[in-house]
């Protein structure tokens, strides 16, 4: 995966393993930081020019305030106050709304992961816009923009980009075979669809700003 990123001119990646309480995917901030350091050492040893920044995709939950109190959550980039929050795929999003409001009240910036994939927001986009107006930020998955034009996730993703409501565009890369890092054809199709300047803003400029804090 690292070599695939570098081949496309990508030299910084924020790794966002899941934090889903009560499952095997609930590594603490400390474990993620240690794992990233080990991974970086391997990349450096092999002279692969890629920097891995730590992060976490936090499943929203009424217990998010407890997890913050326990110090187990990690902001994107490992420091700063921006945290990636994953909505539930089903239901009416009470836990997401509660998590967003808690974070905003406590001077943290919630970034909502792939809301375009959530059927509730596909049917109720105004509820998503309300969260954005309150201070939440939006991260889309590239694949949603490249999905069939008639699909609901594509339509919501494109509408959010066109109305400049999106802050980040994520690869959703999971492995070197299947959900792999974006190759040349993906970058070209994205630029055709939303424009080169927009891809630059969502994949380079905004993430760069985030990592500076
Ligand atoms: Fe996710």
Please state the domain count of the chain: 1
- Structure confidence at residue 24 (pLDDT): 84
Q: What is the pLDDT of residue 88?
A: 93
Ligand 1 centre to CA of 175 (Å) is 15
Give 86 Cα–ligand 1 centroid separation in angstroms: 6
* Ligand 1 midpoint to CA 125 (Å): 19
CB proximity list for 115: less than 8 A, separation 6 or greater: 87, 121, 128, 138, 140, 156, 160
Q: Report CA(6)–ligand 1 centroid distance (Å).
A: 23
Alpha carbon of 61 to ligand 1 centroid (Å)? 14
Which residues have CB atoms below 5 A from the ion given as ligand 1? 86, 113
Q: How far is CA 119 from the centre of its chain?
A: 18
Per-residue pLDDT at 161: 98
CATH number of the domain that 126 lies in? Answer: 3.20.20.140
CA 172 – ligand 1 centroid, Å = 8
Instruction: Give the Cα separation of 118 and 8 in Å (integer).
Output: 30
Residue 100 lies in a domain: yes
Distance of alpha carbon 195 from alpha carbon 197, whole angstroms: 6
- Predicted pLDDT at 26: 87
Q: Is residue 34 part of a domain?
A: no
Q: What is the pLDDT of residue 118?
A: 97
Q: Under 8 Å CB-to-CB from 136, ≥6 apart: which residues?
A: 100, 104, 109, 110, 111, 112
Strands (E), the chain: 12-14, 18-19, 51-53, 57-59, 82-86, 109-113, 137-141, 168-170
Give me the pLDDT at residue 212, please.
86
* DSSP result, 23-36: SS-B--HHHHHHHH
Residue at 124 is within a domain: yes
Instruction: Classify each residue of 199-213 as buried b or exposed e, where b means 16 or more C-beta atoms within 10 Å of its C-beta.
Output: bebbbeebbeebbee
Give the distance (Å) from ligand 1 centre to CA of residue 113. 6
**15 in a structural domain:** no
Q: Is residue 10 part of a domain?
A: no
| 46 belongs to a structural domain | no
- The strand pair at 109-113 and 18-19 is best described as unpaired
Measured between alpha carbons, how far is 109 from 210 in angstroms, rounded to an integer? 11
Q: Which pLDDT score is estimated for 23?
A: 86
Residue 156 lies in a domain: yes
Q: Walk along the chain (213 residues) and give the pLDDT tens digit of each residue.
A: 999 999 999 999 999 999 998 888 888 899 999 999 999 999 999 999 999 999 999 999 999 999 999 999 999 999 999 999 999 999 999 999 999 999 999 999 999 999 999 999 999 999 999 999 999 999 999 999 999 999 999 999 999 999 999 999 999 999 999 899 999 999 999 999 999 999 999 999 999 999 987
pLDDT given for residue 40 in this prediction: 97
Which structural domain, as residue segments, surrounds residue 72? 57-212
pTM: 0.96
Kindly state the tokens that stand for 166: 């999106």
For residue 47, report the distance from its CA to the centre of ligand 1, in Å.
30
CA of 114 to the centre of ligand 1 (A): 7
Residue 141 lies in a domain: yes
Distances (CA, A) of 63 to 39, 55, 95, 143: 30, 19, 9, 30
C-alpha 11 to ligand 1 mean position (Å): 22
């Amino acid at each position: 995966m690292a070599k695939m990123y570098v081949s496309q001119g990508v030299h910084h990646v924020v790794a966002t393993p899941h934090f889903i309480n009560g499952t095997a995917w609930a590594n603490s901030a400390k474990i993620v930081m240690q794992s990233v350091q080990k991974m970086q050492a391997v990349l450096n040893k092999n002279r692969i020019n890629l920097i891995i920044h730590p992060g976490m995709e936090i499943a929203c939950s009424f217990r998010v305030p407890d997890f913050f109190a326990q110090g187990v959550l990690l902001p994107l980039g490992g420091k700063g106050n921006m945290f990636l929050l994953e909505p539930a795929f089903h239901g009416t999003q009470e836990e997401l709304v509660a998590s967003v409001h808690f974070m905003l009240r406590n001077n943290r910036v919630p970034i909502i992961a792939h809301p375009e994939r959530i059927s509730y927001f596909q049917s109720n986009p105004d509820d998503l816009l309300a969260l954005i107006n309150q201070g939440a930020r939006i991260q889309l998955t590239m694949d949603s923009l490249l999905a069939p034009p008639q699909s609901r996730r594509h339509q919501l993703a494109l509408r959010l980009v066109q109305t400049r409501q999106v802050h980040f565009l994520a690869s959703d890369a999971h492995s070197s075979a299947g959900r792999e890092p974006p190759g040349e054809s993906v970058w070209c199709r994205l630029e055709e669809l939303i424009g080169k300047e927009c891809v630059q803003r969502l994949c380079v400029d905004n993430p760069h700003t985030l990592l500076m804090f």
